[in-house]
Amino acid sequence: MAEIHFTLKKTFGNARVGCLWTPRGEIRTPAFMPVGTAATVKAMLPESVRETGADILLGNTYHLMLRPGAERVASLGGLHRFMNWQGPILTDSGGFQVMSLSAIRKIGEDGVHFQSHIDGHDEFLSPERAMDIQRLLGSDIQMVLDECIALPAGEVAVENSLARSVRWAKRSKIAFGVQAGRACFGIVQGGTVPRLRQRCAEELIAIGFDGYALGGLAVGEGQAAMFDTVDATVPALPAERPRYLMGVGKPDDIVGAVLRGIDMFDCVLPTRSGRNGQAFIRDGTLNLRNARHAESSEPLDPQCGCPACRQFTRGYLHHVVKSGEIIAAMLLTWHNLTFYQDLMNELRVMVDEERSDSWALCWKAGNSSRADE
């Protein structure tokens, strides 16, 4: 089986266009990964997700280990067959979810003891177990287990967490071993302290990974601090490896991060927003609950080719959102995921053609509520 490798095709400033080659297909970068946490992208069929232009999905170790269980997924043919997605899949290791979802947890050098948010059952996740779960799931890109602490935090606490994350990364890499056709990414931690981020990057590079993610951001530090952290970290990462900014997905965050040299993104925002009546368009965002849309015969976005825009009016979408109809979540999620893939394609074209007039750049300074104030 062919190995996963990254090809950097072109740069424009710090922005990059490339391709992450996998046996299951090419991942065009910059890339946005729709989130299929529990082996499904909410309100979407797999073929519908593919029609939006997505090359890769994200699944999650924490959620899948709790339900239905990695061993069960493996017995049913692995995650790709289980969820009927034949393209590449990246699985997060579960470190963030342990922090954000488990009310009771105890972190030690061996790993994390925690209670399931589903039924309160005692669970344990170690670097080795996280990699074993991802091996059973059969994901194409596996993430190391890291300790993700809430920000703001004192520098000593951040440094201690970073050191443990590096030790866990070494153990994760050993546990990953050699898996033909699969890749293992390290996760750079260090809070918003530049020297700690740079130190972590150097130590992970010494271990050696197929790609490098920036974790522990978009957790309340604010966009300016996040971008400052990206600016401080990216120069320390190898140019020949993909760079992944974890859990970051507002359009203006994505555009700003692409301009700073990031290649991969994931976020629940487009799907969650779709289930809550919000649509992303080139002019900003629309709240379809707003009464001003009730009698509108306009399409959601005349430049979008998704079914919500081609087949329905804003008036209809307002009606099904207000009525709580399931089709509202389906149509708006499909639209939002299409918008995100259109945005990523526009960013790739921007770099390839060295364009400074791209419509994507209107999101650079923040644009998340301009259309419906």
Residue 145 lies in a domain: yes
Q: pLDDT tens digits, residue range 312-348?
A: 999 999 999 999 999 999 999 999 999 999 999 999 9
> One of 92, 140, 263, 301 is an active-site residue; which one?
92
Q: Do residues 231 and 333 both lie within one domain? A: no
Q: For this structure, is 92 an active site residue?
A: yes
Q: Do residues 259 and 328 both lie within one domain? A: no
What residues are paired with 266 via a beta bridge?
33
Q: Do residues 12 and 119 both lie within one domain? A: yes
Q: Determine the Cα–Cα distance for residues 296 and 298; give it in Å rounded to an integer.
A: 5
What is the pTM assigned to this prediction? 0.97
> One of 253, 263, 266, 342 is an active-site residue; which one?
266
Segments forming the whole domain that contains residue 153: 5-266
Q: Do residues 327 and 198 both lie within one domain? A: no
Last residue of a domain, one of 224, 243, 266: 266
74 falls in which pLDDT band (50, 70, 90)? very high
Q: Do residues 207 and 171 both lie within one domain? A: yes
The single residue listed with the structure tokens 């925690």 is: 114
Q: Do residues 319 and 251 both lie within one domain? A: no
Q: Determine the Cα–Cα distance for residues 26 and 271; give it in Å rounded to an integer.
A: 23
Residue 126 lies in a domain: yes
Residue 110, number of CB atoms within 10 A of its CB: 11
Residue 370 lies in a domain: no
Residue 52 lies in a domain: yes
Residue 331 lies in a domain: yes
Give the CATH number for residue 257.
3.20.20.105
Q: pLDDT tens digits, residue range 8-17?
A: 999 999 999 9
Residue 219, number of CB atoms within 10 A of its CB: 18
Number of structural domains the chain divides into? 2
- Residue 99's pLDDT is 78
Q: Do residues 335 and 218 both lie within one domain? A: no
Q: Do residues 187 and 217 both lie within one domain? A: yes
Q: pLDDT tens digits, residue range 245-271?
A: 999 999 999 999 999 999 999 999 999
Q: Do residues 205 and 67 both lie within one domain? A: yes
Can you tell me the mean pLDDT for 95-120?
87
Q: pLDDT tens digits, residue range 295-308?
A: 999 999 999 999 99
Residue 13 lies in a domain: yes
Q: For this structure, is 266 an active site residue?
A: yes
Query: Strands 284-287 and 278-281: what pairing?
Result: antiparallel
Q: Do residues 258 and 288 both lie within one domain? A: no
Residue 346 lies in a domain: yes
Q: Do residues 262 and 321 both lie within one domain? A: no
Last residue of a domain, one of 215, 235, 266: 266
Q: Do residues 252 and 281 both lie within one domain? A: no
3-state secondary structure of 309: helix
Distances in Å between the alpha carbon of 218 and those of 55, 171, 188, 225?
24, 26, 14, 10
CB 128 within 8 A of CB 171: yes
Residue 366 lies in a domain: no
